[in-house]
Structures are given as C-alpha cells and as structure tokens.
C-alpha cells in the first residue's frame, strides 16, 4: 500500500498474529498506559498501544492538512494508505480493521457484512451477507449489487480508474475477459460475482485465495450506486454509505465532511462518529503542517508519515516531545531500478548500485533512528514471512566501493554512468534520501540527477507510467511500500508480480516480470499449509534481491505528532502506523 494493513481464524492467522504481537510489543516499549485510560497526552509513544485523550463527547471539528493531493478520494480509485484510512469515514467496506489500540487494531472485523466471509473448503468461493438497514446518504438501501458494481468499476476500468490494485481482476473467474462496466453494458456484469438477493454477495475465484477477508477490507468494496457513477468524475460527488458525507470538495484544494443523516449507528458497530465535521486541506507545505500541529491549529497530518527532518530536532528537544509517537510503519523505503531503462537492463549495473550505496548516510539524511532502521530485505520485519538476510552486506551499511567497481567493470561501465533518480517533491525525507543517494553513488562514478514530482500524480502521471519512465530515462525511482495486509503476499504481489505492471498507476516500478517469481507468488497464495506459505514469502524476497532490481533502504518509522486538542488518538498498524482516522476527535 502506498503511503499500506488481525484477523480471523483460518489458515493465515497464527503466524501473522505472533509476528505482529512481537513487533507491536517492541514498538510499544517507549510508553503508553492502559487502553482507553484517557490520559497520556504528555507521554512519548503513549498512542502506540493505548488511546490517548479518550473521550465520548460528541461535537467539534477534526481538521487535517496534507502536503500534496491524494491520488483520489474516490474509494474505488485510490491506493494511498492514508486515503484507505480516511475513506472509512464515508465508505463502508465488507470488512474492516477494528478501530482499536495496539494489536487489536489488526483484527479484521465485519463492517458492511454481518460476519466475516464464509469460505468453501477449497477457499475458491467466498460469501458475505450484508447487514440489514444500511442506507446511502440519499436514503436508498445499500444492496449487494452496489458492492458488486463498486468492485467492477475499481478493477476493470483502467481507462477511467487506474490508481487502485487489481486483485479482484486477477483472481475472479473470467477476470481476464470482462471489459468493465463502462464498456460492457450487459445487466449481468462479471458473472463470477453473484448477487442472489439484495443482501448476499458471492465471489467465485479461479484459484484458492486464503487471504480474502483481508482483501474485503479494501475501499474497493465500499458500495457505489451505478446510477450515480460517472467514472473519474465521481470523486466530485461521492455518495456516502458511512457516518459522514461531503459538504464540499474542491479538486486540489480540500474537502469538508459533515454528518450523514441516513447513517444509523445500530447498523454500524465500528464507528462512534463523534465529531460534527471533518475538514482536510491539500497542498500545505510539510513544515507548515508541523508548525500547525505544534501550535494546535489542526488535529492531524493526513499523510501520516511523520514530521519533516528539519522539524524533528525541534520537536524531540522541545516541550512537545511528550506528544510524539515513534511508530513502525510496516513499510520499506526502497529504490526501484527499472529493468527497461539502460543501463539497468544489465544486472551487473544494478548490482553496482547495491554494493555502492551507503545506506547509513541515507538514513542519517532522512532523520536517523527516529525515521527507521537500515533495510536489507524488501519485506519489513513486521510482515508475516519476513526472513532476515543481507544479500549485499557491507560493514556498517556503508557500502563497498571495491565490489561496486568490479560490478561496473562487468556491466561494461568501468568509469561509471549517468542516470536519473525520482523523488516526491512534497516529501522532505524522500528528497533528503535522494540527495544522500546522489552523494553516495558519486563516489563510485555513478552520477545521479534528481527529478522531483508531486506525490498526488507520482504514480498516475510519472513513476507509475512505463511509457513516461522509458521516454524520460528514469532509471532509479524512489518508492515506499507497506503491506496491503500483513502477510508476504499482501506486501509483495503488487510490487514484484509481472501482472501488476499497468499502463498507468502501477506500483511495480522496476517492471519486474520474472516467470519464476510470478509462479512462486501464485503457488504460495494457493497453498493451504500455513507454515509452507509463510516460508515461501521469505524465499520470494530472496529471489527479488538476487535479481537486484530493488534496493532496500530503510524500514520506515514515522515520528508522529499529536496536538493537545486531539482526542481518541491511537496508532493503527493496519494503515502504515499512522493515527486511526475513524477514531480521532477534537476538543475544539
């Protein structure tokens, strides 16, 4: 998940629960208190495993700011983790992650559905029954057909909606043939999603998929009334099924959400919906956001990636240090080396970067230990299937110039080469990372030019568009990725599977399409043996590193800052270690 997500009993649960419990326990060592203790507003790391400033008071306005724009606030056209988190305010999905502190926040619970999915013995058929009485903001009942249509438009219409993942397209029977609702005008739609009555929806898969309840948490299952859909323009008049609806939306500027009078709390055990209003403003400089948090002018930074490197020393050394939470993001910051852009079509040129990069200097430039730990694998330690290894180990993570130069000679570039590295312009830590990479690689003769792009269009217009990447010779692409759900498949599939390469909006920025890796992913998710599947994820991670197209840099942490007026504040590991926006309130 761009930024990224326990759980039910069944084949995947035990391993995930143990790994995440350990990681959360480690993350929570810095402080906290008992859950819902209502205190801790001045305690560092208090929100890692408790709810800070717990309140049941209704009213007030929650205000967010963001340094850029979203890929889209349309639940069917987004992949950013913060939008997945934020969209739960106005879109209910079949299942969701429980709004709760600590490891309880990783529990998948029913949302629009009455219960978790009922699976066939072979995990190829999944059935959900919707709760009775759920309505859209216009008073019309939400039906299973509205959920089916939401999946169809979000997965099968790349000409209009290209930003989100395509798991449903990949796994539904006939998914490779269905043309999507804007081209296929038949009343039936895709036949492998059945709606035998208004409250029942059945998904028929072409192969076993043991993680389906995780997939059902995606905003793509938030219902959309077909009569109100107009493709990419739907974002301007989203029809709410949650406790809030849009009062206003201005492209590129922001939005205001107010109460949805048709929302019935009796049908929704997950949302308290305490604030009267939620506002969000886009294109605010990150340092300005940090200062607004420090002065208690806003409730939260919507991006959820933490304060800027230049703000960090002031925050940690000042009176506001007790209002910070150093949260593990369950995400890896890495550099994608595009296999279609010379000289990275040569594995030895890719290995030259692997050996030559001083990762410690990169972490230091990003803000040091509060921003994370040096990464040696693509999978972060909090994801089920993580295996500790270091294919390109160097002393102190400082790089090895001799080995790098030997690889340069092997790739026919003994004197080095020129390339371009992308970074998102509104993310100071990523720009700092790029600058450090540039300085590090220059020492071995690789001259890196940095080109910056806006985060909101980074995947749809630039780094995620192969034709643009090739035409502009973007050989190195900055990337941060968190698990769509906390298993190896939930992390790896959309970034290393050849099937994830798209004309735009893609996340496989390396354009890695290795038949052995693709097959290993498919075989593993179909394996009903928990231990074998878990082992497979680590083996696939090693295959990716052997290919050398991914350069892991940092296992991400976020130095989050909560103002004193924020209530019900807790970190959710389900959404990349940001605060849970479904719970957050304000005393203002």
Question: What are the domain boundaries of the chain?
Answer: 327-558
* Structure confidence at residue 41 as a pLDDT band (50, 70, 90): low
Distance between CA 113 and CA 267 in Å, rounded? 10
Distances (CA, A) of 68 to 71, 87, 162, 283: 10, 17, 19, 4
State the average pLDDT over residues 186-196: 96
More confident residue, 28 or 560: 560
pLDDT of residue 17: 38
State the average pLDDT over residues 246-267: 98
User: Quick one: DSSP state of residue 63?
Assistant: E
* Structure confidence at residue 452 as a pLDDT band (50, 70, 90): very high
Note the pTM of the prediction, 2 decimals.
Answer: 0.81
* pLDDT of 4 over the 50 cut: no
Distance between CA 334 and CA 555 in Å, rounded? 9
Looking at the DSSP assignment, which residues form a beta bridge with residue 333? 480, 554
* 562, 323 Cβ separation under 8 angstroms: yes
What CATH class is the domain 327-558? alpha beta
* pLDDT of 11 over the 70 cut: no
* Structure confidence at residue 42 as a pLDDT band (50, 70, 90): confident
State the average pLDDT over residues 87-101: 97
* pLDDT of 503 over the 70 cut: yes
* Structure confidence at residue 527 as a pLDDT band (50, 70, 90): confident
More confident residue, 101 or 426: 101
Question: What value does the mean pLDDT of the chain take?
Answer: 91
pLDDT of residue 573: 87
What is 130-186 written as a DSSP string? BPTT-B-TTSPBP-HHHHHHHHHHHHS-TTT--SS--HHHHHBTTTTT---TTT---
State the average pLDDT over residues 54-60: 97
Q: By three-state DSSP, how is residue 521 classified?
A: helix
pLDDT of residue 22: 36
Instruction: Look up residue 220 and give its two tokens.
Output: 């793509």
Distance between CA 370 and CA 254 in Å, rounded? 30
* pLDDT of 512 over the 50 cut: yes
* Residue range 578-588, pLDDT digits in tens: 999 999 999 99
* pLDDT of 14 over the 50 cut: no
pLDDT of residue 313: 92
Largest Cα span, the chain: 69
Of 235, 231, 273, 240, residue with least CA distance to 252: 235
**Stretch among 83-97, 321-335, 342-356 having the lowest mean pLDDT:** 321-335
- The percentage of residues in the chain with a pLDDT greater than 70, rounded to a whole number, is 93
More confident residue, 553 or 309: 553
**Stretch among 237-241, 487-491, 510-514 having the lowest mean pLDDT:** 487-491
State the average pLDDT over residues 51-79: 96
Instruction: Look up residue 35 and give its two tokens.
Output: 């859950």
* pLDDT of 9 over the 90 cut: no
Identify each DSSP E strand in 238-322 by its residue range: 244-250, 254-259, 277-281, 300-301
* 44, 322 Cβ separation under 8 angstroms: yes
* pLDDT of 157 over the 90 cut: yes
* 172, 206 Cβ separation under 8 angstroms: yes
* Structure confidence at residue 3 as a pLDDT band (50, 70, 90): low
* Residue range 374-402, pLDDT digits in tens: 999 999 988 889 999 999 999 999 999 99
State the average pLDDT over residues 149-158: 97
Of 178, 195, 201, 190, residue with least CA distance to 126: 201
pLDDT of residue 329: 87
State the average pLDDT over residues 168-189: 95
* pLDDT of 134 over the 80 cut: yes
* Structure confidence at residue 443 as a pLDDT band (50, 70, 90): very high
Looking at the DSSP assignment, which residues form a beta bridge with residue 417? 446
pLDDT of residue 581: 98
pLDDT of residue 32: 31
pLDDT of residue 429: 87
State the average pLDDT over residues 291-296: 97
pLDDT of residue 304: 95
* 273, 263 Cβ separation under 8 angstroms: yes
pLDDT of residue 106: 87
In the chain, what is the straight-line distance between the N-terminal and C-terminal CA atoms, in Å? 32
């Amino acid at each position: 998940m761009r930024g990224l997500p326990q759980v039910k009993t069944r084949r995947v649960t035990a391993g995930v629960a143990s790994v995440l419990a350990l990681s959360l326990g480690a993350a929570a060592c810095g402080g906290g208190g008992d859950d819902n203790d209502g205190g801790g507003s001045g305690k560092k790391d208090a929100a890692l495993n408790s709810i800070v400033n717990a309140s049941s008071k209704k009213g007030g306005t929650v205000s967010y700011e963001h340094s850029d724009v979203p890929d889209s606030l349309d639940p069917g056209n987004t992949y950013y983790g913060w939008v997945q988190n934020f969209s739960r305010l106005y879109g209910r999905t079949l299942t969701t992650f429980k709004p709760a502190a600590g490891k309880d926040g990783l529990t998948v619970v029913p949302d629009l559905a009455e219960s978790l999915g009922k699976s066939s013995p072979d995990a190829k058929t999944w059935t959900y029954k919707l709760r009775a009485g759920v309505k859209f903001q216009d008073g019309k009942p939400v039906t299973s057909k509205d959920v089916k249509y939401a999946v169809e438009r979000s997965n099968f219409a790349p000409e209009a909606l290209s930003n989100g993942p395509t798991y449903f397209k990949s796994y539904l029977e006939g998914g490779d043939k269905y043309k999507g609702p804007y081209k296929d005008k038949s009343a039936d739609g895709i036949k492998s999603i059945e709606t035998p009555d208004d409250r029942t929806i059945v998904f028929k898969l072409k192969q076993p998929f043991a993680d389906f309840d995780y997939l059902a948490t995606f905003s793509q299952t938030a219902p959309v009334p077909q009569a109100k859909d107009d493709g990419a323009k739907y974002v301007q008049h989203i029809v709410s099924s949650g406790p809030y609806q849009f009062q206003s939306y201005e492209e590129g500027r922001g939005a205001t959400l107010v109460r949805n009078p048709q929302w019935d709390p009796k049908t929704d055990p997950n949302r308290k919906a305490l604030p009267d209003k939620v506002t969000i403003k886009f294109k605010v400089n990150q340092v300005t956001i940090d200062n607004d948090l420090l002065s208690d002018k806003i409730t939260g930074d919507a991006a959820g990636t933490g304060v800027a490197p230049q703000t960090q020393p002031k925050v940690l050394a000042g009176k506001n240090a007790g209002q910070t939470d150093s949260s593990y993001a369950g995400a890896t910051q890495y550099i994608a080396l595009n296999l279609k852009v010379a000289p990275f079509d040569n594995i030895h040129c890719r290995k030259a970067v692997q050996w030559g990069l001083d990762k410690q200097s990169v972490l230091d430039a990003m803000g040091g230990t509060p921003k994370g730990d040096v990464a040696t694998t693509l999978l972060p330690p909090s994801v089920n299937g993580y295996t500790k290894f270091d294919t390109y180990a160097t002393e102190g993570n400082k790089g090895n110039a001799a080995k790098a130069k030997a690889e340069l000679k092997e790739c026919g570039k003994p004197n080095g080469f020129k390339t371009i590295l992308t970074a998102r312009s509104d993310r100071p830590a990523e720009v700092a990372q790029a600058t450090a990479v540039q300085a590090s690689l220059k020492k071995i003769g690789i001259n890196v030019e940095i080109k910056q792009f806006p985060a909101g269009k980074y995947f749809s217009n630039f780094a995620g568009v192969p034709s643009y990447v090739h035409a502009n010779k973007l050989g190195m692409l900055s990337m941060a990725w968190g698990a769509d759900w906390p298993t190896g498949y939930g992390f790896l599939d959309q970034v290393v599977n050849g099937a994830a390469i798209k004309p735009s909006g893609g996340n496989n920025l390396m354009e890695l399409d290795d038949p052995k890796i693709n097959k290993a992913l498919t075989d593993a998710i179909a394996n009903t043996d928990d231990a074998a599947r878990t082992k497979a994820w680590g083996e696939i991670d090693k295959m990716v590193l052997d290919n050398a197209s991914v350069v892991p840099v940092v296992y991400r942490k976020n130095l989050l800052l909560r103002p004193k007026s924020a209530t019900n504040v807790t970190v959710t590991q389900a959404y990349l270690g940001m605060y849970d926006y479904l719970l957050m309130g304000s005393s203002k």
